[in-house]
Structure 1
Amino acid sequence: MQSPPGGHPPDPRATAPGGPAAGEAPDALPDVAPKLRELRRRRGLTLEAAAHRAGLSPAHLSRLETGRRQPSLPMLLALARIYGTTVAELLGESAPEHDPVVRAGSREPSQADGWTYHQVGSPGRAMQTLRLIVPYGAQGELVRQHPGEEWLYVLDGRVRLGLGDTVHELGPGDSAHYDSLTPHRIAAATRDGAEMLFVHTLLQSPDIFHPHF
């Protein structure tokens, strides 16, 4: 589920390699821009206050709200957290009348900053689940750091996962479960990209669970 997926060193405000240039209108995530503006106003937050909480500049948040920039996964996670919602809602997913089953092909994927997001869970849940297609080089330099936990499972290709000062390379069948307050990077390690399952939750396990990287 770099966070993607606020407060990341280095600053996640920098657009990942392959992202759109300033002022360039994206051709993906058509519902995200108005949704971001609607949720901010619904929470009674000014542009400046929301940007500060998410670790963004007001100008950058304004570009996200007008569709001139596409949010990366860490930006979506940060904004969902301060607006009290989920990445699924930000991506325009609506609840399927409490149906616990998600049928193959029933939802269109979304794209942001080179990553392709397939919603594989129900919106409105504390645990957010995604199937991610990660092209080589996309978002590879973004360092993510945010409350909660993440779990990922590699389906195809190889994934380079940096946790603190340690770098792990994962292949098909490998998985990782870590405290997302640990600064982390996720990137495809193979030229053909990688595919993985990703789960994120804002819930935190007791400290005894957390490995020290």
Structure 2
Amino acid sequence: MSTPGATAPAVGPSPDEPLPDVAPRLRELRRGRRLTLETAAARAGLSPAHLSRLETGNRQPSLPLLLALARIYGTTVSDLLGEMPPERDPIVRGGRAEPVEADGWVYRQAGNPGRAMQPLRVTVEYGAQGNLVRVHPGEEWLYVLTGRLRLALGDGVHVLEPGDSAHFDSLVPHRIAAVEPAGAELLFVHTLLQSPAGELCLDGAGLHHR
């Protein structure tokens, strides 16, 4: 599962402006994510030699390539370019959380976008998305508020009651469904997607505001 809703466009120089030296930041982020040069290059669709040249400053990345690398490292182009992000209000008021619907589920943001962890309040309608298998990088944590929830995780199936929670690696195939016609409501937290494999998840679904 991934964050529903659009993300703000990355901030950066125009194509006609020279890019600042991002080599040290690229190297720092890759090492901080504990990725080898070969692994990071493969995820970005580059050769290790090409990525090495980017990290040593012998080659300047294009903006599309910066965007791809930012997604892999779980950050933004602005961060790669050393730009200061606008200060975020740490308080998220419940009345300002506009519902977003996707395939029968209703989502409300419970945190600020762009953070490494994305918290949501989710209403799971009965019979919706029960056969959708999700596989993507990161971790997921969920806590059942109301109703009963069926979580198929790998080869196991678990029924969660109100007050139950689950925390798992989201590379493990998983399905989530409401057990009863009344549906279920849960708190949900997932880490920011860090790989193009995230396109296999809910983020690729058609979302629309209620």
Task: State the TM bucket, normalised to the shorter chain.
Answer: 0.5 to 0.7
Which of residues 89, 110, 113 in structure 1 aligns to 2:100? 110
Separation of aligned partners in 1, 2:175 and 2:189: 15
Provide the secondary structure at the position in 1 that maps to 2:96.
coil
Contact 2:144 2:163 in 1 (8 A): yes
Match of 2:140 in 1: 150
Larger fraction in helix: 2
Could you say what the CA RMSD is over the residues aligned between the two structures, in angstroms? 3.4
1:97 deviates by 4.5
1:34-45 matches, cutoff 5 A:
none
Superposed CA offset, 1:125-178 (max 9, x none): 000110000100111001111111000000000110011110000010000000
Is 1:200 paired with 2:201?
no
Instruction: Name the aligned partner's letter for residue 117 of structure 1.
Output: Y
TM-score, with structure 2 as normaliser: 0.53
Match of 1:64 in 2: none
Matched positions, count: 130
Which of residues 161, 165, 174 in structure 2 aligns to 1:175? 165
Separation of aligned partners in 2, 1:132 and 1:156: 11
Superposed CA offset, 1:36-65 (max 9, x none): 9x77xxxx9xxxxxxxx9xxxxxxxxxxxx
Match of 1:71 in 2: none
Separation of aligned partners in 2, 1:161 and 1:194: 12
Separation of aligned partners in 1, 2:92 and 2:112: 8
Provide the secondary structure at the position in 2 that maps to 1:133.
strand
Which of residues 115, 122, 146 in structure 2 aligns to 1:125? 115
1:107 deviates by 2.2
TM-score, with structure 1 as normaliser: 0.53
> Where do 5+ consecutive residues of structure 2 fail to align?
16-42, 44-69, 77-84, 195-210
1:203 deviates by 8.3
Match of 1:190 in 2: 180
1:106 deviates by 1.5
Contact 1:152 1:177 in 2 (8 A): yes
Larger radius of gyration: 2
Structure 1 segments (4+ residues) deviating >3 Å: 80-86
Instruction: Name the aligned partner's letter for residue 200 of structure 1.
Output: H
1:44-83 matches, cutoff 5 A:
none
Instruction: Name the aligned partner's letter for residue 102 of structure 1.
Output: V
> Where do 5+ consecutive residues of structure 1 fail to align?
6-28, 45-52, 54-79, 87-94, 205-213
Provide the secondary structure at the position in 2 that maps to 1:105.
helix
Superposed CA offset, 1:16-38 (max 9, x none): xxxxxxxxxxxxx9x75xx79x7
Identify if the C-alpha distance between structure 1 residues 164 and 157 changes in structure 2 by more than 3 Å, giving closer, same or farther: same
1:79-94 matches, cutoff 5 A:
none
Separation of aligned partners in 2, 1:197 and 1:173: 11
